[in-house]
Structure 1
């Protein structure tokens, strides 16, 4: 039974944490927001500072240059690309335009999908990943599960909060089977670029083969720019892209965000440095956590790790509080639907900060 009387904090709720625990937000290491610990790329920061005059001009309504950069980065035609005010806007647009009669959401996952689906009035069914399988998706089982009238499937890959992922081969089977049943598939790849090998899990190349698919990404997490509000979607379905454009507000991406997006996607040095840091620290932290007697860790594909607490009488909220009182904010996962048991989630930060968190968790779980 979930405890609904205690506070639940999102990874970005530093102001609420500051007020509740009387800890200055500047002194909090945010392990809950899943943002790249390197921060904004220095070269991007410098270029933006030198080009602030773009704010005085309206953006190109068609975002030709930005879409060309996304096309080059993703290796797909620019005509496949839609851009938006963060991935959230594109998720909202997709769901509102598909107007699914019966959507299936693979969970436990990001609550925004359910919220947006509720606004369309259709039926929503959850397909829950199994803890005994390490939260790894079983494509054959999912396809058997889909109700006959399903017309939309939504999944996050890698998934939040489980950090599990579905392979490109399995995605191909899923999308192909869904096309035969006239089911549209939305894949949220917010965390795909952090994966040990993003090429093995991304669905973007599948947009060249299937028109019942849209992949959505953003720059908030990997490029450490949540305040920029820039997202993009990739689909080969030109009719659907045209429908999105008709219903999207003009200039939803600011001039400065469009420029920043171009710069970020071309910053090969920053991209490689990020991947090296996340991959090495993720491996190191997983090995440490695997040695904790009272914890169960699942193979992570994203830049965050899900841990189940196995110590009798110790709750996820108690672990959250132990960490926050030492100035470290992790995610108490009790607010996630379809995740029974006591779980915490935290993202990979800089090595010295990760060491502090491991020391705190070791006192409780080792």
Structure 2
């Protein structure tokens, strides 16, 4: 098992406030990877009008919410299950699958390994290589799959590298996993920020593969981490039946149900988000790519991994420099296979992005 160091999470603003003496409301978090537009206007107004929803229990089967998600994702309603954030569903899938040995693409989010360990399983990592700009070589990866692996976990686009696996390569991986009876869990938390969602998202593959489950949430793209609304897409009816039997009833509250039916249909907000992130992603990648101080890795989501090229400067140094100006970046030395030469920034509003870029590049 890889040892994970402590770090400041994007939500740890109270801890930052205590250590640095900066009021949390004055901190711009480039670490949380949350949509800078804030919540959907349609959601903001709709919740006010429907606040009385909390006087009744939500539909136990969440039919209307699941139908909205199915329409949004272009899939079938029977393949949708909702949960208290994607974290609940990740836990459930792992608890039910009970993998003795799981393979994870790294560096990545540490919660997967934690859940596997809690279920008594062992985790091994397949490292994305810096010499390949952290882009997966599907043929080499598939050659490392074996029948003693029970589960494969992929974050796509991957956090923190920002790289992604396209649908063609994901199909090859699924075919190989099917031969070795490996269940594949794909975390698509950041896929909605991608320029070409359909080229990266594996939702279309759930129609023909039953050995895959896709996890998504509303924390990042819809800027609603406090709502705790997540969902999974899987066409394995037996597995979905077990999931529904094991899941706590009413784990999604009435406000989250209403919120979901509103935000997933706010097409103007969805398009505005994608336009903003694409524009800032292209602009900031070009800025850092032209610098001699950093090497940026081509991002597919709403954040970018940067390698520090200057001698004598560490990720901790840059974190400290930025936070003292009220700008919180992610020190990536805590991720497996990364060291103190890597930081991650997410794309915020243009003015804030320019301020951060000037501080890092100036």
TM-score (norm 1): 0.97
The Cα of 1:60 is off from its aligned counterpart by 0.3
Deviations 1:7-46 (A, max 9, x none): 7211111000000000000000011000000001122101
**CA distance, structure 2, for counterparts of residue 171 and residue 224 of structure 1:** 28
Deviations 1:135-182 (A, max 9, x none): 111111111112331111000000000000000100011011111211
Deviations 1:119-147 (A, max 9, x none): 11122111110011011111111111123
- Do residues 172 (structure 1) and 171 (structure 2) align? yes
Equivalent in the alignment of 1:338: 337
**CA distance, structure 1, for counterparts of residue 3 and residue 261 of structure 2:** 44
Equivalent in the alignment of 1:103: 102
Deviations 1:264-301 (A, max 9, x none): 11110000000000000000000000111121100000
SS at match of 1:170: helix
Of stretches 180-189 and 332-341 in structure 1, the one that deviates more from structure 2 is 332-341
Equivalent in the alignment of 2:144: 145
Q: Is the 8 A contact 1:290 1:297 kept in 2?
A: yes
Equivalent in the alignment of 1:31: 30
Deviations 1:53-96 (A, max 9, x none): 00111010000000100111111110000000000000010111
**CA distance, structure 1, for counterparts of residue 22 and residue 145 of structure 2:** 47
SS at match of 1:178: helix
Equivalent in the alignment of 2:118: 119
Q: Is the 8 A contact 1:103 1:122 kept in 2?
A: yes
Q: Is the 8 A contact 1:308 1:341 kept in 2?
A: no
- Structure 2 portions without partners, runs of 5+: none
- Do residues 159 (structure 1) and 158 (structure 2) align? yes
Equivalent in the alignment of 1:284: 283
Equivalent in the alignment of 1:325: 324
Q: Is the 8 A contact 2:332 2:339 kept in 1?
A: no
**CA distance, structure 2, for counterparts of residue 162 and residue 80 of structure 1:** 29
Deviations 1:173-210 (A, max 9, x none): 10111112111100000000001111100001100000
Equivalent in the alignment of 1:198: 197
- Structure 1 portions without partners, runs of 5+: none
**CA distance, structure 2, for counterparts of residue 4 and residue 78 of structure 1:** 38
| 1:86-97 map, 5 Å | 86-97=85-96
The Cα of 1:101 is off from its aligned counterpart by 1.6
**CA distance, structure 2, for counterparts of residue 170 and residue 308 of structure 1:** 26
Equivalent in the alignment of 1:8: 7
TM-score (norm 2): 0.98
- Do residues 63 (structure 1) and 91 (structure 2) align? no
SS at match of 1:227: helix
The Cα of 1:341 is off from its aligned counterpart by 4.8
**CA distance, structure 2, for counterparts of residue 159 and residue 106 of structure 1:** 9
- Do residues 216 (structure 1) and 219 (structure 2) align? no
Aligned residue pair count? 361
**CA distance, structure 2, for counterparts of residue 24 and residue 341 of structure 1:** 27
Equivalent in the alignment of 1:240: 239
Equivalent in the alignment of 2:74: 75
Equivalent in the alignment of 2:271: 272
